[in-house]
Amino acid sequence: MPGQQTQTVSLFIQCLVDVMYPEVGVAMLKIFRKLGIPVDCPTNQTCCGQPAYNSGYRQQARTAARKFIEIFEHKEVIVCPSGSCVTTVRHHYPDLLSDEPDWHRRAETVSGKTFELTQYLVDVLGIDDLGARYSGKLTYHDSCHALRALGLQEQPRRLISNVTGAELVEMNDSDRCCGFGGSFAIKYPDISTAMAKDKVDNIIATGANAVVGVDISCLMNIQGLLNRKKSPVKILHIAELLAG
Amino acid sequence: MAEIRTEHYKSEARKAIKDRTLQGALADVQDRLGKGTAKAYRELPEGPGLRLKAHEIRMQAVENLDILLETLAENVRENGGKVIFAEDAAAAVTECLEIARRHEVRTVVKGKSMVTEEIGLNEALTAAGMEVTETDLGEYIIQLAGESPSHIIAPAIHKTRQQVGRLFAEKLGIPYTEDPPTLTQAARKALREKFLAADMGISGCNLACAETGHITTVSNEGNIRMATTLPRVHVAFMGMERVVARLEDHDILFRLLARGAAAQHMAGYISYIGGPRQPGHADGPDAFYLIIIDNGRSRILADEDFREMLCCIRCAACLNVCPVYGKIGGHSYGYPYSGPVGAVVTPLLVGIDRAKHLFMGETLCGACKDACPVDIDIPRMLLALRARLVEGDRRWNTPPGNLVEKSAYTAWSLAIRNRSLYDGLRWLSAQAQQLMTARDGMIHRLPFPFSGWTRSRDMKPLARKTFMQHWKEMQKE
């Protein structure tokens, strides 16, 4: 797609990546630099508001949405390393602001140009090989919102399969929720843990060195349990894999 | 049966998670039916898009419910049946008791019906001195065991064949066996006697057809057909939303119902019942009553956010894919409706505030929507329920939610608007976390309200530098 590639990508950095896993953002930056795509990053961004929205705090989520829109509405294209944050912007912002015509219109504008990283690479840019290298077996966890709200199933797998030296081994029930669910993980820890245990068992059964995902929130949950079990299996955000 | 409290939900869930037999049974039913349903949808000649058509049919019916119910009632009466509208559970039960008294009913056989569980019918009939027998094999098992259904269409999945073997040995006086065909034969024999002796047959209604005045019952055991044709009196109960306009709508909906419920192409028995026995008919009841139950459904219908839930045809496909149901089982939900459907319907029927744990205790993974034969957007309604709980709503007798939590989110919404303030708070948290970080670089114990996380999981501490700091430094390079 000529023309598309010259668009400047504005980094929409998930808050968890910003404050806990900055290496994922750095990796995403490396990917765009490697592709020769101009990048900018509004440094006054914070959180898209998903935690408030998912907990029913719509007024507070609207505050976050308006702030996000103000920051990003004039950008050419917005790319984020998280399927669930992109779902919030793409699917929930327009609903959240549906009673305010001006904001609704602005939300629609932003929502139409916000993409998850693998979605942008594969569906928009048509790139499924980044020339990355990895040595060992990998398995892929389908994050719920990336899979069901954004339809990302083939895109990440194609990218992983083209990593030299990486062997992708499918786990059982890769499309089953890991049990994170935001505040659910804290309010209903027993149920959340039971779900996470199944996920971790399925990951370990593949014999993979690492589990790859497109959402650090799921990976954080999985890492929490893997570490508690002292399992050698690592978590790997797809940006880190593709930057390698 | 109704045990709807947050603590009950959590403690039953813990019990279920520890129950290895139940975990095996849940995994098995989800593996077979959950995956089977997805496959059955893919194999539809019209493609998975048929679910959207079904949604349209159901939504249209829900939006024209007043006209459809009137037409249905008129046509049933024309066929010689009697139609009763019951405003709530108590009214429905009273009507049934009155019918039983009028027809001098002593024994009752029942086909599986969730709405009769909802209104507590069995308890009322039993208290009035009648003998009530559930005739669906699963329902029969749990009735003998004195339990309640743990799955909408497979009510006894929580019981093993060994448990059933012991139960039948004790209650039916047969020698202990765990051979399913032998156990089924024993139940069949016991139930045949009940069918032949019963004065009244009670059924639910999968979907009524307004234009013809029929109700339909669907089963795989043929028991509902016997319960509705052998006894002198047939009383059918239906939730007031379970009607569509035309007979041709049934074609699509029943093909999807069978796929959603049991990964079948079509259920074993579908009966269209349009009234009592007509002159010249070989069998059928002398009297037919249709009790149409509101019990809170009008309130759901009146609310635009939740009206869509009335499209539900109670197939349980969402239970078979729900990762939360798959761990906690049906009894945790404390009400006849479990799984994702229960998480939305139960609060709407019994109170949003009272049953809040049902819609808070879900992960919003969206698997239920993809599995629903009528494409109901359950995740959207889980979110809408959460918003109602926070904001409060007098129509739903729900006061505004937890003020402490609300203040926390309001403070958060202020902090995220101001990056310097946000960074300051992050820095403070990072300092505090340094004290909690263990030698392996992870946090093993967090204070309340985050302690739930570290009970079973570790957590990576906040990074020394945010991505934004990295970015600024990289720009200088």
Cα B43 to Cα B38: distance, rounded to the nearest angstrom: 9
Contact (CB<8Å) A188/B412 = no
- Indicate if A71 and A35 belong to the same structural domain: yes
- Tell me the count of A-B CB pairs closer than 8 A: 191
Q: Is residue B6, in this structure, part of any structural domain at all?
A: no
Q: How far out from the chain centre does Cα A238 lie?
A: 9
How many domains, in total, are found in chain A?
2
Q: Is residue B343 part of a domain?
A: no
Residue in B25, B323, B263, B153 with CA at minimum distance from that of residue A148 = B323
Q: Find out whether B330 and B158 touch, Cβ atoms under 8 Å.
A: yes
Mark whether A140 and A225 lie in a shared domain. yes
Cα–Cα nearest to A72, from A111, A99, A15, A101: A111
Show the domain range for A188.
129-243
* Helix, strand or coil, per DSSP, at residue B437: strand
Q: Which of A55, A82, A142, A226 to mutate to test the interface with B (most CBs of B within 10 A)?
A: A55
Partner-chain residue, chosen from B13, B410, B413, that has the shortest CB–CB distance to A191: B13
Q: How far is B176 from chain A (nearest CA, A)?
A: 35
A223 closest CB neighbour out of B362, B386, B460: B460
Residue type, B372: C
Rounded distance between C-alpha atoms, residue A210 and residue A234, angstroms: 4
* A100 and A144 belong to one structural domain: no
B327 interface with A at CB cutoff 8 Å: yes
In single-letter form, the type of residue at position A219 comes to L
- B428 in a structural domain: yes
Chain-centroid distance of CA B35 in Å reads 19
Asked whether residue A105 falls in the same domain as residue A156, the answer is no
Cβ atoms of B103 and B127 closer than 8 Å: no
Residue B468 to chain A, least CA–CA distance (Å): 6
Interchain CB distance below 8 Å, B457 and A193: yes
Whether A25 and A118 map to the same domain: the answer is: yes
CB contacts of A240 in chain B (<8 Å) are none
- Closest Cβ–Cβ partner in B361, B389, B419 for A184: B361
Which domain-ending residue is among B295, B319, B347? B295
Domain termination site, one of A87, A122, A157: A122
**B63 and B197 inside one domain:** yes
- The residue in chain A having the minimum alpha-carbon distance to the alpha carbon of residue B16 is A191
Same structural domain for residues B433 and B288? no
Give the CA angle between residues A127, A133, A137 to the nearest 5°.
Answer: 105
- CATH code of the domain containing A111: 1.20.1050
φ, ψ for residue B459 (rounded to 5)?
-140, 140
| CA dihedral (A210, A215, A220, A222) positive or negative | negative
User: To which H or E segment does residue B180 belong?
Assistant: helix B180-197
Bridge partners of B287?
Answer: B233
Give the list of residues 6+ apart from residue B102 with CB closer than 8 angstroms, or none: none
Considering the domain architecture, whether residues A142 and A81 belong to the same structural domain is answered as no
| B20, B363, B464, B472: best to mutate for the A interface, most A CBs within 10 A | B363
**A22 and A106 share a domain?**
yes
Summarised one tens digit per residue, pLDDT across range B223-271 is 999 999 999 999 999 999 999 999 999 999 999 999 999 999 999 999 9
Average pLDDT over residues A37-59: 97
- Averaged pLDDT for residues B411-416: 94
Domain boundary among A96, A122, A148: A122
- pLDDT at res. B358: 97
Domain span at residue B106?
44-295
DSSP B281: -
- C-alpha closest to that of A110 among A12, A29, A33, A31: A12
Domain boundary among B267, B295, B323: B295
Query: What residues of chain B, 448 to 467, have a C-beta less than 8 Å from chain A?
Result: 449-450, 452-453, 455-463, 465-467
Under the banding of pLDDT at 50, 70 and 90, the label for residue B282 is confident
- Same domain flag for A38 and A53: yes
Distance CA B271, CA A5 (A): 61
Residue B356 domain-assigned (yes or no): no
Best residue in A33, A141, A177 for a mutation probing chain B (most B CBs within 10 Å): A177
Inter-chain touch B471–A41, beta carbons under 8 Å = yes
Residues of B in contact with A227 (CB under 8 A): 440, 442, 457-458
**What are the angstrom distances between the C-alpha of A194 and each of A177, A179, B432?**
11, 8, 29
Tally Cβ neighbours within 10 Å of residue A53.
24
**Interface residue B362 vs chain A (CB under 8 A):** yes
Do A9 and A113 belong to one domain? Answer: yes
pLDDT tens for A176-228 read: 999 999 999 999 999 999 999 999 999 999 999 999 999 999 999 999 999 99
pLDDT band, residue A5 (cuts 50/70/90): low
Shared-domain flag, residues A100 and A185: no
> Does the beta carbon of B436 lie under 8 angstroms from any beta carbon of chain A?
no
Render pLDDT for B167-199 as a digit per residue (tens, 0 to 9).
999 999 999 999 999 999 999 999 999 999 999
Give the separation between CA B197 and CA B193, rounded to whole angstroms.
6
Antiparallel, parallel or unpaired: β A39-40 and B243-244: unpaired
Give the lowest-confidence range in A132-141, B90-99, B114-123, B395-404: B395-404
In a domain, B329, yes or no: no
Hey, are the CB atoms on B360 and A179 less than 8 Å from each other? no
Q: Given B275, B295, B315, which residue is the final one in a domain? A: B295
Indicate whether B64 and B201 sit together in one domain.
yes
Domain boundary among A122, A143, A160: A122
What CATH number should be reported for the domain holding residue B62?
3.40.50.10420
pLDDT category of residue A2 using cuts at 50, 70 and 90: very low
Does the beta-carbon distance from B455 to A193 stay under 8 Å? yes
Task: Report the C-alpha gap between B422 and B408 in whole angstroms.
Answer: 14
Are B259 and B41 contacting, i.e. CB atoms less than 8 angstroms apart?
Answer: yes
Q: Which residues pair with B234 in a beta bridge?
A: B201, B288
| Residue B276, SS3 per DSSP | coil
| Contact yes or no for A47 and B471 at CB 8 A | no
> What single letter denotes the amino acid at residue B229?
T
Nearest to B386 among A56, A63, A191 (CB): A56
Q: Is pLDDT above 50 for A1? A: no
Contact B458 A228 (CB under 8 A): yes
Which residue spans within B149-282 are E strands per DSSP?
Answer: 200-203, 207-209, 214-219, 233-239, 243-244, 269-273
Q: CA dihedral defined by B231, B284, B295, B304, rounded to 10 degrees?
A: 150
Whether residue A174 sits in one domain with residue A198: yes
Tell me, yes or no, whether A48 and A102 share the same domain: yes
Q: Tell me how far apart the alpha carbons of residues A22 and A27 are, in angstroms, rounded to a whole number.
A: 9
Q: What is the pLDDT of residue B397?
A: 86
Give yes or no for a contact between B119 and B103, defined as CB atoms under 8 angstroms apart: no
B32 touches chain A (CB under 8 A): no
Residue showing tokens 């894919």 = B321
pLDDT in tens, B139-149: 999 999 999 98
Burial B31-69 (b: 16+ CB within 10 A, else e): eebbeebbebbeebeeeeebbebbbebbbebbeebeebb
Q: How many domains, chain B?
A: 2
Quick check: is B250 in a domain? Answer: yes
CA distance A166 to chain B (A): 26
Cα-only R_g, chain A: 18
In 3-state terms chain B splits into helix, strand, coil percentages (rounded to 5) of 55, 10, 35
